[in-house]
Amino acid sequence: MSAVPQEESPHKGKTGLRRVINATRYSLEGFAAAARHEDAFRMEVLLFMVLAPVALWLGSTGVERALLVGCLLLVLIVELLNSAVEAAVDRISFENHRLAKRAKDIGSAAVMLSLVNAAVVWLLILLS
């Protein structure tokens, strides 16, 4: 008796251009949801909008500009992932549970480290 392989998700059936279009739409919906529901994401986007042009102006080489802007983008990426973890945990249950708290705290720590990373990169480049 052989087992029939199970698909991971019934939503993964699209391929080619349709998949690219769907992925783009889902990504834009994710940005909109984060902007609508996540205060920290909105603040970090505002920070990015202010600092990215400054980074392009202050960076003296392409590598410096890439590092200055890249570390800001990393903050946004980590914040999105943290928000996704928090939403998934909240979807399961709103009750206090040590594992839910641990997941949320670890996500928050990742955001903090990305902010520290951004500060260190900016200081190292600006002070050199």
Rounded distance between C-alpha atoms, residue 96 and residue 59, angstroms: 46
pLDDT of residue 1: 54
Domain contains 10: no
Q: What is the CA radius of gyration of the chain?
A: 19
Domain contains 86: yes
Whether 34 has a pLDDT exceeding 90, the answer reads yes
Catalytic residue check, 29? no
Q: Which of 7, 38, 79, 95 is catalytic?
A: 79
Q: Per residue in 2-27, pLDDT tens?
A: 565 666 666 667 788 999 999 999 99
pLDDT of residue 117: 98
Show the domain range for 95.
Answer: 16-126
Mean pLDDT of 40-69: 97
Place of tokens 């019934």: 10
Q: Per residue in 90-104, pLDDT tens?
A: 999 888 899 999 999
Q: Per residue in 59-91, pLDDT tens?
A: 999 999 999 999 999 999 999 999 999 999 999
Rounded distance between C-alpha atoms, residue 5 and residue 3, angstroms: 6
Specify the CATH number for the domain of residue 88.
1.10.287.3610
Domain contains 2: no
Q: How many domains does the chain have?
A: 1
Q: Per residue in 108-118, pLDDT tens?
A: 999 999 999 99
Domain contains 82: yes
pLDDT of residue 6: 62
Q: Are 37 and 29 in contact (CB under 8 A)?
A: no
